[in-house]
Every structure is written in structure tokens, then in C-alpha cells.
Amino acid sequence: MLRLMTTWNWNAVDINFDYVVNLANTLTNNKEEFELISTSYTPVLRYQLESQNLNSAKVWSLYDELQGITIKNGQPITLADIVLPENAEIIYTPFGINVYYLDQIYARLVPYNDAILCQVIYFANGKQDVIDYYDDRGFLSRRDLLATPNGAAQSFYFNQQGQLMLSEDATKKGNRITIYPVAYSKFKHKSYATLQEILLEVFDKYAHSMREPFIVTVDAVTPTEFIQKVSLKYPIIPYLEQATLNAIVADTLTKQLRELLVVAKYVVIPEQETFKKLIATIKSQKLAIDLKKIKVITPYSIQLDLGLSNTLVETNILVNATKKTAAETIKIIKSILELMLKDTDLTLIMSVENSTDTQLMMTSIKEYLNSKLAINDDNPDLGLIEEYVLAKQANKPNPDLLKAIRELEKKNPIDYNNMVKLVQTLHNISFEKKLNKDKWHQLILKARIYVDLNNNMDLYPAMQAIETGIPLLLAKKVEFLHEPNNGAIAQTLKQLNHYLDKYVYELDIWNDTLVYDVKLGSAYSDANLITKWKEVGYGKGKAKS
């Protein structure tokens, strides 16, 4: 079977786009056998997997083995389970639940994804002192005593009965792992130099008889120490995420990643267009890598979902600006506004980086439009226009309001038209943050065109655009963008406006894109992706019969 190794951290709230997770979903949907291997400390693993409709019963957890945890399910810890001082004051904040006692902060309770309690941080004299980690099966899994001027940091690991299994001490002279009596029979020694040493011992017990390679997502230019050490002993297939691949071809290949690529059974990358650049990097750095072991497998399959009724009615321009600065995003919006001012039915949806101040951005856009349309922001008629536009959008006619609007239009037709343009255009601009796969899917279903001007483009929404048959405007070539059949490369704002005008209004070209994407979709079906993975996953160069 295929063995998929995860590396995400315990606090990874959204594993939606992890390549190994998407492969696991594809295999699950097609009733293919696989095993998921969790290699990081992840006390909320079950909730993480359930969020992706994956069964946690099919997971082998390195830390469960380390801590002697045998139960599969349980009831997670809630606020009511935490013992707090009497008369403690509880305050809810965006970063957690703060507990105050005797006018000082006593603790901060941190929920996971607003659902369950996973971490409690205790304070002493206003500073973090102790951190408790709770497993989503309902028990204290780990306790960290933070370093102080007089003492080193310590971590204690427990099983589901609350028994202390091992501890890790971080001193100036180095780390020390101590095994406690209840766990003596599990390990070869009673103490170890590092946590990695004992983790590898645990992994060896599990993996020593396995022949299939381990498929692991590499989402950083420096792989985890554990993955590096495992790769020296077992066959590994690193699946390079797009950002990691872009970093490699930009000559930021770290020593650790170089060593991993050299020893790998195969190296899998997500798209064809970067293949030549990767080969050039390997040759220029004289890496001892057999070029035949580099394979291209897209991380997402294409399931045709054309959504025709929505797409033909709505004229939504969906722009991915998640890797753009606020200033760059505003430039893109201002460029598209030229088109929107000519057609106030156009809607612009901007996907932006999570920390973007969209309110400040809208203020800047409004000031730009006021200047362009020669409108005084203090004009009292703007309120009347706003009320009229909202009533029109809600399809709630108001005779008195309509009469006032007509009088305003007669008084100064040019100012009236400009104010209507201003208000309608501002209402037709919206921002989206923290998009998961479902949200991307819903937005793209209702889009007329998808735009991604990021240098490091997001593969998932681009492939979703193929699924729904809408044109792509991308900053660079990717293997499923076949100019001019299903979109174009737009590297300047001038090119962006040219192609928007073409694909939004020339419906014959738009329809040709849809027809072409239907044909293209078969090349990225579940069956094709699974076949490719079996070819490398069984380590034989061909699918297992």
C-alpha cells in the first residue's frame, strides 16, 4: 500500500492544501488502500483529520507510540474541565480565553479552531511559566515548564492514564531524555541524548520490515530533523510543495534539502513548467541526483463541475492577491476599476493575505474614485444615492425614494451618474480571507474569470477554474494553461485589462474555454493520478498489479 507521511505541526489549523492530505482524500474517495503516518507532535490530530473527512483510525502516530497511547477516541477537554481559582475573571479575546485572578493574568486557554481546548498557558508574575497540552481524546498529553534564569526548560509526556512516560530537559550542556519506570519495557535504554534518538528507535520498530517508500510533503526549504534522519535509513519520496520548489529554482537550496533530494527514491514535483528549471538547478549545483527519478504529479485531480447556470448569469472577476502587499493589491484594484466604471454590473472579489487591513484599503479606493469622478465626499446627496442603490439591489422599490432620486438626476445629471457609479462600484468590491478548499470552490463556481498575478501561484484554485471551465489569467505559465485555449499569461496591469475585456465580454471565446477544459480535465482524473502514484509509491517504477 502507499504510505503517506505527514509533517504538519499540532497548531496547523488548516491542513486543507497539504499535498499528502489531498492524496489521502483521492485514495479514500477511490477506495484505495493507504496508511497515513503522523510524525509530529499533534494532540489535535483527530480533529485535523476529521476536518478533511479522513479517518483517524487509519493513522499510525509516532508520538502515540512514544507516549504509550492506545485509545483511538475520546471526549475532548472543555473550559469546564479546567480547575480555576474561585472568583477568577474570564475574558474572551480573539487570541484565547484570558483568566485573571487577584488583578493579574493567571492563565490563557487556547482553543483549537474555535472547537476544543488544546492548550492552557499559565502565568507567574505576568510571564508565561507552564504550558499544558491536551489531547483531543480528553487527557493531558504534555506539560512544558518554560526556562527561567535559574532553571532549564523541561517537557513531560504522559499516556492516557496520566502516567509520566518520559521527560526532556534542555540544558546549556545539551538535552537529556529520561525514561520513567512505567515505560522501561518500551525502550532499549533508560535515558537518551536527544528526543530524535528515541523517536527514531520508535519508528524503527514500526518500519523495519516495510519495503514501500514513504511519501512525505516537503513544505519548507529545511526539512525536519526527523525526516532527514529517516531518509538516511529508509526509502523516501519527497513531494515538493510549490513554494519549496520555487525556492529551490531561485538558488536557495539548503544543505539539508540537498541531502534529502540526493538520497530520495524519487522526487515528485507538482507541475511540469518548473521541471526544466529544477533540472537546470541540479546541473548547475552538480548534485548527484539521477534526473530520471524526478516525476511530475499534480497535487489535485480535476472533477468537472461546470456550474453553467451561475457562471452565465454572474459577472464576477475573482482575483487571487494573497501574496501581494496592500499597495500592490490596490494597484490591481485601481486597474480593474477602469473596466468596472464602464460596466457597473461587474463584481470584483479579491482574495487577500489574512493580515490585510481591508477597511483601510477600501478607504484608499474610495478616495481614488472620489478624485477620478470629481465627487466631494461630504456631498449630502451621497446618502440618498446609497439608500437608492441598496433598495435596488434588495429589489425593494420605494416610491418616495425614487421620486427624490429623479429630482436629483434632473438637477445635475453628470454629478448624479458619477455618484451612482461611485456607490455601485464600491458595493461591487469585496474581500475574502482564510479561504479553504470549499470556499474557493464556491467562489470559482460563480466567477466569470479567475486571476492569479502572484509569482508563486496557488495551484488549487487554478485547477478549480479548470474544473468549472472558466478562463485563467496567470502571471506565469503552468502545464494546464494552454494559451489561448483556456486563458492567458498576464504579467502587467495593461495585459490584465486587455484580457479581462476579452474574456468577460466575448462569450464565444469564453465558451471555447469551457469546451477545451472539458477535454483537458480527463488528463488530471483521479485514475490517472493514482496510477502515477502507484508507479513511484511501490518503488518499482510501475504500478503494482
Whether residues 68 and 88 fall in one domain: no
Q: Does residue 462 form part of some domain?
A: yes
Task: Name the average pLDDT for the chain.
Answer: 88
489 bridge partner residues: 474
What is the crossing angle of helices 507-521 and 493-505, to 10°? Answer: 90
The mean pLDDT value for 510-518 works out to 88
Task: Give the pLDDT confidence score for residue 14 in this predicted structure.
Answer: 67
The mean pLDDT value for 358-367 works out to 93
Task: Give the pLDDT confidence score for residue 310 in this predicted structure.
Answer: 42
pLDDT in tens, 251-273: 777 888 889 999 999 999 998 88
Whether the predicted pLDDT of 154 surpasses 60: yes
Whether residues 359 and 459 fall in one domain: yes
Task: Give the pLDDT confidence score for residue 55 in this predicted structure.
Answer: 82
Whether the predicted pLDDT of 9 surpasses 50: yes
Whether residues 313 and 175 fall in one domain: no
pLDDT in tens, 129-140: 999 999 999 999
CA distances from 154 to 36, 74, 142, 167, 377 (A): 30, 27, 10, 7, 60
Last residue of a domain, one of 248, 271, 296: 296
Amino acid symbol at 349: I
Whether residues 397 and 508 fall in one domain: yes
Query: How would you classify the pairing of strands 294-296 and 174-179?
Result: unpaired
Task: Give the pLDDT confidence score for residue 276 in this predicted structure.
Answer: 85
- Residues present in the chain in total: 545
Task: Give the pLDDT confidence score for residue 93 in this predicted structure.
Answer: 86
Task: Give the pLDDT confidence score for residue 429 in this predicted structure.
Answer: 96
Whether residues 467 and 369 fall in one domain: yes
Q: Does residue 364 form part of some domain?
A: yes
Whether the Cβ atoms of residue 462 and residue 478 lie closer than 8 Å to each other = yes
Q: Does residue 473 form part of some domain?
A: yes
How many other C-beta atoms are found inside a 10 Å radius of the C-beta of residue 538? 17
Query: CA quadruple 237, 241, 244, 246: dihedral positive or negative?
Result: positive
Whether residues 407 and 498 fall in one domain: yes
Whether residues 365 and 323 fall in one domain: yes
Task: Give the pLDDT confidence score for residue 32 in this predicted structure.
Answer: 93
Residue with more model confidence, 150 or 238: 238
Whether residues 390 and 278 fall in one domain: no
Q: Does residue 193 form part of some domain?
A: no
Residue 484: cis peptide before it, omega within 30 degrees of 0:
yes
Whether the predicted pLDDT of 503 surpasses 70: yes
Whether residues 85 and 225 fall in one domain: no
How many other C-beta atoms are found inside a 10 Å radius of the C-beta of residue 223? 25
Q: Does residue 201 form part of some domain?
A: no
CATH number of 241's domain? 3.40.50
pLDDT in tens, 465-480: 998 889 999 998 888 8
Residue 388: pLDDT band (50, 70, 90) is confident
Whether the predicted pLDDT of 542 surpasses 80: no
The mean pLDDT value for 351-362 works out to 89
Whether the predicted pLDDT of 311 surpasses 60: no
Q: How far apart are CA 292 and CA 44, in angstroms?
A: 39
Q: Tell me what percent of the residues of the chain surpass a pLDDT of 90.
A: 55
Exposure of 349 in the CB half-sphere (CA atoms within 13 A): 19
Task: Give the pLDDT confidence score for residue 309 in this predicted structure.
Answer: 41
Least confident of 185-194, 306-315, 442-451, 506-515: 306-315
CATH number of 116's domain? 2.40.128
The mean pLDDT value for 330-339 works out to 95
Task: Give the pLDDT confidence score for residue 394 in this predicted structure.
Answer: 76
User: CA 403 from chain center: how many Å?
Assistant: 50
Q: How far apart are CA 32 and CA 186, in angstroms?
A: 33
Task: Give the pLDDT confidence score for residue 205 in this predicted structure.
Answer: 94
Whether the Cβ atoms of residue 42 and residue 8 lie closer than 8 Å to each other = yes
Whether residues 352 and 461 fall in one domain: yes
Whole-structure pTM value: 0.82
Whether the predicted pLDDT of 451 surpasses 90: yes
Task: Give the pLDDT confidence score for residue 277 in this predicted structure.
Answer: 84
Whether the predicted pLDDT of 351 surpasses 80: yes
CATH number of 438's domain? 3.40.50.2000
Q: Does residue 219 form part of some domain?
A: yes
Task: Give the pLDDT confidence score for residue 305 in this predicted structure.
Answer: 67
Whether residues 494 and 403 fall in one domain: yes
Whether the predicted pLDDT of 449 surpasses 90: yes
Task: Give the pLDDT confidence score for residue 540 in this predicted structure.
Answer: 52
Q: Tell me what percent of the residues of the chain surpass a pLDDT of 70.
A: 96
Q: How many domains does the chain have?
A: 3
Task: Give the pLDDT confidence score for residue 544 in this predicted structure.
Answer: 38
Residue 401: pLDDT band (50, 70, 90) is confident
Residue with more model confidence, 365 or 477: 365
Whether the predicted pLDDT of 20 surpasses 50: yes
How many other C-beta atoms are found inside a 10 Å radius of the C-beta of residue 95? 8
How many other C-beta atoms are found inside a 10 Å radius of the C-beta of residue 101? 15
Residue whose C-alpha is closest to residue 269's, from 290, 229, 239, 235: 239
Task: Give the pLDDT confidence score for residue 211 in this predicted structure.
Answer: 84
Last residue of a domain, one of 246, 269, 296: 296
Task: Give the pLDDT confidence score for residue 370 in this predicted structure.
Answer: 92
Amino acid symbol at 415: D
The DSSP annotation for 275-333 comes to: HHHHHHHHHHTT----GGGEEE--SS-------HHHHHH--EEEEEETTS-HHHHHHHH
Task: Give the pLDDT confidence score for residue 541 in this predicted structure.
Answer: 43
| 132's grid cell | 499544558
Whether residues 276 and 338 fall in one domain: no
Q: How far apart are CA 65 and CA 63, in angstroms?
A: 5
pLDDT in tens, 196-244: 999 999 999 999 888 889 999 998 888 888 999 999 999 999 999 888 8
Q: Which domain covers residue 467, as residue numbers?
A: 308-522
Task: Give the pLDDT confidence score for residue 120 in this predicted structure.
Answer: 96
Q: Does residue 303 form part of some domain?
A: no
Q: Does residue 541 form part of some domain?
A: no
The mean pLDDT value for 75-88 works out to 92
Task: Give the pLDDT confidence score for residue 306 in this predicted structure.
Answer: 61
The mean pLDDT value for 10-15 works out to 70
